[in-house]
Amino acid sequence: MEYRNGDFRGQHPKAIDVGVDESVAGDAGGIDGIVEDAKQRLFALEADWDGEASPVFDEITVKTAIDFVHELSLQVNGENLAKDMEILPASAGSVDLHWQTPHFELLVVFHADGSSSFYGDNCHGERSIQGEQRPDPEEIARWMEDLNA
Amino acid sequence: MRKWDVECIPNPDLLYYRVNKKKYHEIWKSKRVNKGHKFPAGLFSFAGSYLSVDWSKYSTPRQSQSRARIPDDNGIVEFKVADVRRERHKVRHVPTRGNRAHSAICGIQPKIRITLQRIAQWSEGFVIDPD
């Protein structure tokens, strides 16, 4: 495991396999590519990008979201994490991490004021997790694993 | 302008929500997967701890659209009150001096946004065309 420029890279020895393709298990390359694309898109958006007077994206908010992705990638192997992950602009300077898979849906919101909130379920309102704080990557990884089982 | 009484919103009624075209198209451009979903969760913007909507008893989709800064830049989606409450979100009438229909959906933001993306429908005649 390596810590570089504020980002964790590599594979955690306790990483949980929730994926379907062993050939990409532990490969952070897919995640890194998605993260880089997302950063470029978010920072390219101008104020009022949504017609609702949202500000430009703050570097700290984007970094907080991306750090969470990297921490989660240490816990979760497999292409599913990257395959279904969206890093999207949201209102008022917030950044959304969103997964919609056949087994679960999870939305983690990193707000511009530094707070976070999250909700996930099995796409039918059951087996849900939610909170109004930064989610624990280990807890999220176990939940993803349970719903993929 | 008079101050309006707060009323209970019945389950069969509808709530209208404005969707800005710029936002709709920008979020779709940013999406890389799940393009088949009609309403990205990011469409639903919170004002602090609640999401502002208009109650169908005192608003039509056209009136809801007309309250936007630039009305023609907005589509309208609608939700059934019962569908919102089924997911245990609170729906409250919060009239303002300028808008008797103003109401609020309260709860944990990401849960509300996921609920709304699942139950939202375009109001007829107020659809935003994809790019």
Mean pLDDT, contiguous 10-residue spans, chain A (149 residues): 33 40 44 92 96 95 96 81 90 94 94 96 95 95 91
**3-class secondary structure, A141:** helix
pLDDT for residue B36? 63
Q: Is B72 on the interface with A (CB under 8 A)?
A: no
Q: Is B40 on the interface with A (CB under 8 A)?
A: yes
**Residue A82's pLDDT is what?**
84
pTM score, whole prediction: 0.87
For chain A, the average pLDDT equals 82
Distances A80 to A21, A73, B21 between C-alpha atoms, Å: 9, 11, 31
Give the tokens for residue A114: 């530094």
Q: Do B23 and A41 make contact, defined as CB atoms within 8 angstroms?
A: no
DSSP state, residue B2: P
Complex ipTM tops 0.90: yes
What burial letters (b/e) apply to A83-122, b meaning 16+ CB within 10 Å? bbbbbbbbbbbbbbbbbbbebbbbbbbbbbeeebbbbbbb
CB contact under 8 A, B22 and A105: no
User: Around Cβ B111, how many Cβ atoms within 10 Å?
Assistant: 21
**Mean pLDDT (10-residue bins), chain B, 131 residues:** 89 98 92 76 87 98 96 97 96 96 95 95 94 68
Shortest CA gap A132–chain B (Å): 7
